Amino acid sequence: MTAGLKNRLAAGDVLLSDGAMGTLLQAEGLGPGDAPEAWNLSRPDVLEKIAAAYIDAGADLVHTNSFGASPLKLAAHGLDSRCAEINRAAAEAATRGVAGRGWVSGSLGSCGQLLAPYGAADPAEVFTGFGIQARALVAGGAEVLTVETMSDLAEAVLAVRAAREALPAGAVLATMTFEPTPRGWFTIMGNDVPTVVDGLTAAGADVVGSNCGQGSQGMLAVAREFAGVTELPLMIQANAGLPVLRNGAVHYPESPADLAAVLPGLLDAGVRIVGGCCGTTPAHIAALRAYLSVL
């Protein structure tokens, strides 16, 4: 891309991110309990196809298939020793699919364990793991890094710090997942929006916001809370509604038109990167692009 993502945001542009990864991998045959990240090595053609599909739908930014590719999470599948290889392959596949038509962002998700003192994960080990991930993603071609679907601010801060070290001048995006409570929006670890903003900003995030956990209307409320406490650009990636079981299968009820309908409110709240999370497809991203194209 000729202009850096941070420059585009500074100019006031609204950028379109991609949608779900897991939803499309499952459609390609990923089975229950399989490690999605293993496909970076065995089925990179599928990852290229997904990246290209989102770019063709109008996305400016496509994420790598590396959400669960931290050493601790890969260890559950016996793949921790291949962490760097898996992450680099994720970025390389996405880069081939994007083919210079957008940005590739390396995805970093939770390590899957609670940090001490609440759990057994050593923060220093978790930070080291995020560093391995982030450096490999950058080596594979990622121009942006996204810390996403985090519930524990302490872990998110470790990931943002590792991302910032691996990508000193590039854009680091950070989104967390919130639930409504009588006292406002909180992560399941008890972090409220102002605390999250302070922590992520201090750690070095250029963009903050939320993904997953909520459909479009819930995300609109979260976005408005963020807008009240920060001037950083906001990123919102909603699910296609809250999942329901239909004939024994998980179904996400929001159509592409449903997702696009909330876009005016998100933009009014100051959201500058918008996309989709669980249940969203290239059709959802195309609907968002259709709206943005007439602004």
Residues 73-98: tens digit of each pLDDT: 999 999 999 999 999 999 999 999 99
Is residue 238 within 8 A of residue 203, CB to CB? The reply is no
Cβ–Cβ contacts within 10 Å for residue 289, how many? 16
Q: State residue 164's pLDDT score.
A: 98
User: pLDDT tens digits, residue range 167-186?
Assistant: 999 999 999 999 999 999 99
40-63: b (≥16 Cβ within 10 Å) or e: beebbebbbebbbbbbebbbbbbb
pTM: 0.96
Q: State residue 251's pLDDT score.
A: 85
Asked if the model's pLDDT at residue 248 lies above 80, the reply is no
Q: State residue 132's pLDDT score.
A: 98
Q: State residue 243's pLDDT score.
A: 84
Query: Which residue, among 279, 32, 273, 88, has the nearest Cα to 171 in the 3D structure?
Result: 273
Q: State residue 288's pLDDT score.
A: 98
Residue 270 three-state SS: coil
Q: State residue 2's pLDDT score.
A: 52
Report the chain's terminal Cα–Cα distance, integer Å.
22
Give the confidence band of 249 by pLDDT, cuts at 50, 70, 90.
confident
User: pLDDT tens digits, residue range 266-295?
Assistant: 999 999 999 999 999 999 999 999 999 987
Taken in order of first residue, the domains within the chain and their CATH numbers are 5-292 (3.20.20.330)
Q: State residue 1's pLDDT score.
A: 56
Q: What is the mean pLDDT of the segment spanning 239-268?
A: 91
Q: What is d(CA 99, CA 2) in angstroms, rounded to the nearest whole number?
A: 13
Q: State residue 12's pLDDT score.
A: 94
Q: State residue 92's pLDDT score.
A: 98
Q: What is d(CA 60, CA 168) in angstroms, rounded to the nearest whole number?
A: 21
Q: What is the mean pLDDT of the segment spanning 17-36?
A: 95
Q: State residue 244's pLDDT score.
A: 86
Q: What is d(CA 140, CA 137) in angstroms, rounded to the nearest whole number?
A: 5
Crossing angle for the helix pair 44-57 and 83-98, to the nearest 10 degrees: 40
Is residue 156 within 8 A of residue 200, CB to CB? The reply is yes
Across all residues in the chain, what is the average pLDDT? 96
Asked if the model's pLDDT at residue 4 lies above 60, the reply is yes
Is residue 208 within 8 A of residue 222, CB to CB? The reply is no
Percent of the chain at pLDDT > 90 equals 94
Radius of gyration (C-alpha) of the chain in whole angstroms: 17
Q: What is d(CA 97, CA 137) in angstroms, rounded to the nearest whole number?
A: 15
Q: State residue 295's pLDDT score.
A: 72
